[in-house]
Amino acid sequence: MVEPHRPDPDALLERMKHEANQGSRGRLKIFFGASPGVGKTYAMLQAAHLERKAGVEVLVGVVETHGRAETESLLEGFDILPRKRIDHRGMALDEFDLDAALALRPGLILVDELAHTNAPSCRHRKRWQDVLELVDAGINVYTTVNVQHLDSLNDVIAQITGVVVRETIPDSILDEAGDIELIDLPIDELHRRIQEGKVYLPQQAKLAMESFFRTGNLIALRELALRRTADRVETQMDAYRGRHAIRSSWPVNERLMVSVGPSPFSAKLIRSAKRMADRLDAPWIAAFVETSRYRKAKPEVRQRVLASMRIASELGAETVTLAGEDVAATLLTYASSRNVTKIVLGKQTGPLWKRVWRGSVVDELLGNSGDIGIIAISGEPENLANDWPAGTAPGAIAWRGSIFTLATVLTCTVLSIGLRDALDPVNLVMVFLLGVLAVAIHLNRTQSFLASILSVAAFDYFCVPPYNTFVVSDYEYILTFIVILTVGLLVSTLTGRLRLQANSAVEREARTHLLYRFVQALADERHPRELGDHPWRIVSEAFQVDTAILLPDQDGKVTQQADLGSFTAPETELGIAQWVFDHGQKAGEGTDTLSGAKALYMPLRGARQALGVLAIRPRSSDALTTPEQQHLLEVFCSQAALSMERAQATEEAQTAKLRAETERMRSGLLSAVSHDLRTPLATITGAASSLRAQRQHLDTPAQLGLIECIEQEAERLARLVNNLLEITRIESGSIELKREWIPLEEIVGSSLIRMGSALEPRPVQVDIPVDLPLLFVDEILLEQALINILDNASRYTPANGAIHISASTQNGGILLAIEDSGPGFRPGEEAQIWEKFYRGSAGTGTGAGLGLAICQSIVRAHHGTIEAANRPGGGATFRIWLPVPPQQPEIPDHA
């Protein structure tokens, strides 16, 4: 029964995205086989021939013929890409030339042996990474791989064949490939081919038949290959069903979580979990609980955890590192927060007493898991004794510890001998117990054990009658011994654990503090778009590395900003940085990609795109080795990228706001141009034409009146144009102050002269003290500001009204007041007058409403203030305050 459903919109979107990607990406076809010799390369070449006949441009990237004549004959007629010769420790290796292939952009490229490991100086460590890059670049790829190279089947195959395959590929490649063609060959046929020498040379063939190519092995491998292909077909079927909204069964909302530990067995555990998750069609999480004990583990152990986590993420898991002391409780808390339905973990197989003594994580989980299912998988015994070092420098500590223990016991003994006549032996035991406690608190379990034995011996010898013998007459002293021993061990275990917890708290605190400082530095950054030096200095200090920031230019080409970073990324590695920027993946030292580089390149990846590249060069070989450091560094990078992205967004928002304002400005300008400019023009044209046409009818005074009219309107037009030009200049941000030292008097004087007759006949009174300090201003702009205010005053002040200009020093600056005797402002108008295109209600309405806005811009550009108010006796006051630099210039011979 097929019931149509409406497809889930999210899934639909996901698929659309996937298909869109498919559009620009190339198609990957994998020729998949159970073992070498089944004819994958042969099949691939045959398929390529068909393509070539269909007109596709085919390029042979890498094809390994292994000297097989049949295969070699098929190579004829193809263009073959020359291999890149690489010197590696005196050995010449011929590798696939990825860059040449990318440059040629063939329609189809053949790249044999997908699981191949590249020479160290190649861009990628693995060939499958090369192939993915080709596909990303839109090139179709044919490739071959055997089932034993699949990551998730790796350990199963190792168990079956006894051969551990080191060259693996992530399962996701197989899952995401466009096509898979299973090249199947019956086992007898394969054997026949091997015997005929078609697969290996005769002497190798015999050896091969006896080891890897044993019938049993081949049957198992063939079954695995068939099953894996069937799984994929099923996935395709699911995808088809999804596309057509066919749902045969309700999906179970399962979510798996696998607990990753430092044991080598973890990799196997992860692969099992992956298979389980696939079967359940469930998302899965790989979680690692970082305890304080783990932090003391050897680097190899931590490396193993990192490797396991990487495997998990390559197999498609979400990876998470949790901090906590109690593994079971931490796992359960996280599991319930993420709605995990099943937890997969390894069964501890150590001795029973140890499990009872320490408590097993599995048992603890089983006891507290509630609804969550627990799946324990048996593994190999964990040989953790080697992995967990007892202390940092056991030798030194043991020596000093033993001396402390001996001294303590000796002190207790001397004290007891002194007191043994006054006290009961039962009480003397307390003295020894005190000593054992002291040792237990300060030292480890070995030392408290030693202290207990020594104490009991000393107690027995010196304090139990008969003195100075080891004869224990009473069994109760055995109890004494046991009590002392137990107390000592318990206390040392407890204090040890506390100490570790305190240490880990301190460490976590340090990490948090570092992150806080970094985020703080990011927040303080004045140009977060490109991020200055400060945040990266914190990184340099904390990790003992040198850093450099590479940012893209308009063409998306990354270059190092001259002043950013503590070292210069080598020219030769700019290509790596570019690759990192383009692909959003890290590369360089310590990674799988271009690991031969001198520095590590991490992308600064924001939510939308990569914003830059952080280059990191370790100062010493042990910098950046711990997984925690690498993790922290990734956190730093993403924080920095987010901050840069936020700054970009803010900038864009500001630009948008500016654009909106400019738009408003423009419409204001339009109205100014259309109305305010046309009015004087109309007067001029009218007056001029009447002078011309009616010359004979007009008497001299009338003619003069018209001429005066033309003159005045032309002046008004000139003022308007001037203001329009000025505001455009100011708004465009090109206002640049040409500051000079100048007396205020001079500016007032030249502006009054420029106003000319416009102020007449209004009396203008100027009161400027002689001893004012010099201003440091742009003369022309400030004159413009004054003219605009005087112009305003002349328009609003009646013909007989006075204008008063005065100045005084105030607040480390000069206050200039211009008072008119016009009508003043309506209530609330004082604030509005500064707006562009605002025109006072009481005025003659001849301005474009720009003068005062310009005035305000000019004063603000000088860091001054301007305000308007009504005068108590009527009229308006404009007050301009301009700062005066405290250091006045020196004038020679100045009296």
Partner 1 sequence: MLNTPEILIVEDDAQIRRFLRTTLAAEKLRYHEAVSAAEGIAQAKARQPDLILLDLGLPDADGLDVIRAVRETSQTPIIVLSARGQEADKVTALDLGADDFVSKPFGVGELLARIRAALRRSATIRDGAVGTVYQAGTITINLEARTIRVAGQEVHLTPIEFRLLETLVRNAGRVVTQRQLLIEVWGPQHSEQGQYLRVYMAQLRRKLEADPARPRYLLTEPGVGYRLTTE
Residues engaged in binding partner 1 (CB under 8 A): 714, 718, 722, 725, 738, 740-743, 745-746, 748-750, 752-753, 764, 766, 768, 770, 774, 779-780, 783, 805, 889, 891-895
Task: Give the nearer residue to partner 1 in terms of CB position, either 91 or 753.
Answer: 753
Residue 53 CB neighbour total at 10 angstroms: 9
Q: Which candidate, 182, 212, 175, places its Cα nearest to that of 194? A: 212
* Peptide bond between residue 743 and the one before it cis (omega within 30 degrees of 0): no
Give me the least distance between CB of 706 and partner 1, in Å please: 17
Phi, psi of 183 (to 5 degrees): -100, 105
Give the 3-state secondary structure percentages of the chain, helix then strand then coil, rounded to 5. Answer: 50, 15, 30
Nearer to partner 1, 625 or 722 (CB): 722
CB of 894 to partner 1, least distance (A): 6
For the bound state, the minimum distance from the C-beta of residue 589 to partner 1, rounded and expressed in Å, comes to: 54
The answer to whether the bond into 761 is cis (omega within 30° of 0) is: yes
Q: Which positions ≥6 away from 275 have C-beta within 8 Å? A: 152
Q: How far is the CB of 772 from partner 1 (least distance, A)?
A: 10
Q: Which two tokens stand for residue 552?
A: 């893209």
Residue 750 C-beta: closest distance to partner 1, Å: 4
- The two tokens of residue 713 are 């309107």
CA 254 to mean position of chain CA atoms: 30
Q: What are phi and psi of 141, to 5 degrees?
A: -130, 135
Phi, psi for 751 (deg, rounded to 5) = -75, -35
| Distance of closest approach, residue 752 Cβ to partner 1, in angstroms | 5
Q: ∠ CA(153), CA(259), CA(593), 5° rounding? A: 60
Contacts of 588 (CB under 8 A, 6+ apart): 573, 576, 580, 594, 595, 597, 598, 599, 600, 601, 615
Q: Distance between terminal CA atoms of the chain?
A: 109
Q: Which is nearer to partner 1, 341 or 806 (CB)?
A: 806
* Cβ-based nearer residue to partner 1, 530 or 745: 745
State the nearest-atom distance from the C-beta of 725 to partner 1, in Å.
7
C-alpha distances out from residue 303 to 243, 421, 499, 614, Å: 42, 61, 25, 23
Nearer to partner 1, 89 or 894 (CB): 894
Q: How far is the CB of 779 from partner 1 (least distance, A)?
A: 5
CB of 844 to partner 1, least distance (A): 22
The amino acid at 495:
T
Question: Sheet of 600-605: strands edge to edge?
Answer: 558-565, 545-552, 610-618, 600-605, 587-588
Are the C-beta atoms of residues 250 and 8 closer than 8 Å to each other? Answer: no
Measured from the CB atom, the residue of 333 and 888 that comes closer to partner 1 is 888
Q: Which is nearer to partner 1, 364 or 715 (by Cβ)?
A: 715
Number of residues assigned to the chain = 895
Q: Shortest gap between Cβ of 872 and partner 1 (angstroms)?
A: 25
Nearer to partner 1, 541 or 736 (CB): 736
Pick 773 or 801: Cβ nearer partner 1:
773
Q: Indicate the burial class of 657 (C-beta count within 10 angstroms; 0-12, 13-18, 19 or more).
A: exposed
Q: Compute the least distance from the CB of residue 595 to partner 1, in Å.
A: 59
**Smallest distance, Å, CB 702 to partner 1?**
21
d(CA 788, CA 557): 49
- Residue 686 or residue 743: which is nearer to partner 1 going by CB? 743
Rounded CA separation 826/833 (Å):
11
Measured from the CB atom, the residue of 486 and 728 that comes closer to partner 1 is 728
Q: Tell me the pairing of strands 610-618 and 600-605.
A: antiparallel
Q: Closest approach of Cβ 658 to partner 1, in Å? A: 24
Q: CB 804 → partner 1: shortest distance, Å?
A: 12
- Give the Cα separation of 601 and 617 in Å (integer): 9
Q: Alpha-carbon distance 455 to 438, whole Å?
A: 12
Q: Closer CB to partner 1, residue 136 or residue 715?
A: 715
Question: Cα separation of 845 and 63, whole Å?
Answer: 86
* Whether the Cβ atoms of residue 551 and residue 604 lie closer than 8 Å to each other: no
In the bound complex, what is the minimum distance in angstroms from residue 839's beta carbon to partner 1? Answer: 24
Tokens representing residue 769 in the block: 């003290």
Distance CA 682, CA 703 (A): 17
Query: 């340099």: which residue's tokens?
Result: 540
Q: Give bridge partners of residue 246 from the DSSP assignment.
A: 4
Residue the block writes with tokens 């046929």: 189
Q: Which is nearer to partner 1, 750 or 865 (CB)?
A: 750
Shortest CB 780 distance to partner 1, Å: 5
Task: Identify which of residues 494 and 766 has a Cβ nearer to partner 1 in the complex.
Answer: 766
Closer to partner 1 by Cβ: residue 799 or 895: 895
Give Cβ neighbours of residue 804 (< 8 Å, ≥ 6 apart).
764, 765, 767, 817, 818, 819
DSSP code of residue 790: H
Q: Output 669 or 833, the one with its CB closest to partner 1.
A: 669
The nearest distance, CB 748 to partner 1, in angstroms, is 6
Q: Alpha-carbon distance 36 to 94, whole Å?
A: 21
Q: 488: which 2 tokens?
A: 């000592």
Radius of gyration of the chain (CA): 43
Instruction: Write the Ramachandran bin of 312: left for phi over 0, alpha for psi from -120 to 50, otherwise beta.
Output: alpha
Backbone phi, then psi, for 807, in 5-degree steps? -145, 155
Whole-angstrom distance, CA of residue 523 vs CA of residue 544 = 23
Q: Which is nearer to partner 1, 407 or 725 (CB)?
A: 725
- Residue (872 or 889) nearer to partner 1, CB: 889
